[in-house]
Amino acid sequence: MRIPRALMDAILAHARSGYPYEVCGVLLGRNGAGDRRVDRVVPVVNREQDSPQVRYEIAPEDLVRVQRDGRDEGREILGYYHSHPDHPARPSETDRRIAAEGLSDGVVHVVVGVEGGKRAAPSAWVFRDRAAAFEPEPLDIE
């Protein structure tokens, strides 16, 4: 997955500013033949009510709005991002289980580990139904 430096910086800043809570957002772009390039990032509110320090939820109402606006601009949803405060930048078992239950095949997830609200590090993954697991996705920050 390719993403401009400024957009990745915006994701990392969002993750730091939201600490100690998880933050989340949507990755938009144009999905060419085998080439994913994010050219817009939309932060959305973490709608998780009970445990926003360790869980996130993107409300479908927010997602349908982002999807509609994206389509109006010729973009589509390539994936999502969320943060893991004081936790590694890789999908958790919760992430895997929920993705396996849902509509996630081929969708990119960027996971940002945030240490102490300061250091933030991203990683990218693609969920595959056939393996019921996330596979590492090369992250090309341009």
Partner 1 sequence: MAVKVQIPAPLRSLTGGQSEVEVDASDVSGLIDRLDSRHRGLKERLCDADGNLRSYVRIFVNDEDVRFLKEKATPLKTGDTVAIVPAIAGGRG
Residue numbers annotated as active site:
22
Site for partner 1 in 59-78 (CB under 8 A): 60-61, 63-65, 67-68, 71, 76-78
36 binds partner 1 (CB under 8 A): no
Q: Residue from 3, 15, 56, 120 that binds partner 1 (CB under 8 A)?
A: 56
DSSP state of 89: S
The region that residue 86 occupies, defined by phi over 0 for left and psi between -120 and 50 for alpha, beta otherwise, is left
Which segment (2-10, 11-19, 45-53, 117-125) binds partner 1 by CB under 8 A? 45-53
DSSP state of 21: S
92 binds partner 1 (CB under 8 A): yes
Look up residue 67 and give its two tokens.
């999807």
Comparing CA positions, the residue from 91, 81, 76, 82 lying closest to residue 127 is 91
Residues of this chain that interact with partner 1 (CB under 8 A) are: 22, 24, 31, 48, 51, 53-58, 60-61, 63-65, 67-68, 71, 76-78, 80, 82, 84-85, 87, 91-92, 94-95, 98-99, 101-107, 109, 129
